[in-house]
A and B are shown apart, each in its own frame.
Chain A
Amino acid sequence: KQEVTQIPAALSVPEGENLVLNCSFTDSAIYNLQWFRQDPGKGLTSLLLIQSSQREQTSGRLNASLDKSSGRSTLYIAASQPGDSATYLCAVRHDYGGSQGNLIFGKGTKLSVKP
């Protein structure tokens, strides 16, 4: 059974720091991996989608990497800002037959960026 783990569960950093959020998954048979942002009481906003054949994706100050063979992904946030404070969720689309490729989520990392 595919399991997704995110470490750390919570992270507090001063403004301006570069930081890395980690995501690991137990089964490398995935179609893709998606990083989401969730603000308190809100829905999920897609940040980056990495296909299984890709190594990384970039959007502005965000860079996500994928090492499928080792079951790891990282989300790198450069020059963090207080507006980056949110919970970041990692989800993999697994490749199990008959499952239609549903998303399996980690429990998230709650990021707080202090001014």
Chain B
Amino acid sequence: NAGVTQTPKFQVLKTGQSMTLQCAQDMNHEYMSWYRQDPGMGLRLIHYSVGAGITDQGEVPNGYNVSRSTTEDFPLRLLSAAPSQTSVYFCASRTGHPLAEQYFGPGTRLTVT
């Protein structure tokens, strides 16, 4: 199994550009989520999904959009990139059981200039 995969690994954007960060998992997990990690701030939840067609906001959702059309994929869209969105983005997944362990992807390092 590949687990949780993310593409690209690195990305540089100019302010105002849009892009999509890809996340996929092959473990048939119902629950998927996106976090961002910033120095001194820890990991913060952006959006999450409890199944195909269902998404909800986390702690820091502004400037990001998500959709979940399949169980496997959970893309994160930056609508109009801003320097404040420079961060490392992690996708995670787990089963729907509340006691389940959470698995993380390798991350995407995004720089917005």
Is A85 interfacial (CB-CB < 8 Å)?
no
| A16 to B90 CA separation, bound complex (whole angstroms) | 33
| A103→B102 contact, CB < 8 A | yes
| Residue numbers in B under 8 Å from A44 (CB-CB) | 90, 104
Known: A42-B107, A100-B31, A100-B48. A105 touches B43 (CB 8 A): yes
Question: How big is chain B's contact interface, by range?
Answer: 20 to 34
Q: Could you tell me the dominant secondary structure of chain B's interface residues? A: strand
Is A112 interfacial (CB-CB < 8 Å)?
no
| A102 to B92 CA separation, bound complex (whole angstroms) | 11
- Please tell me which one of the listed residues A43, A49, A102, A106 contacts residue B104 in the complex, with CB atoms under 8 A apart: A43
Chain A, Cβ-Cβ closest to B4: A43
| Residue numbers in B under 8 Å from A106 (CB-CB) | 42
| B103→A46 contact, CB < 8 A | yes
Q: How far is the CB of A83 from chain B (nearest CB, A)?
A: 19
Is A63 interfacial (CB-CB < 8 Å)?
no
Apart from A32-B99, A42-B106, A93-B102, list 8 A-B contacts with CB within 8 A: A4-B42, A31-B99, A34-B101, A91-B43, A100-B31, A100-B56, A105-B44, A106-B42
- What would be 13 A-B contacts, judged by CB atoms less than 8 Å apart? A31-B98, A42-B107, A43-B105, A43-B106, A46-B103, A51-B99, A89-B42, A91-B43, A93-B98, A95-B98, A102-B45, A106-B42, A108-B42
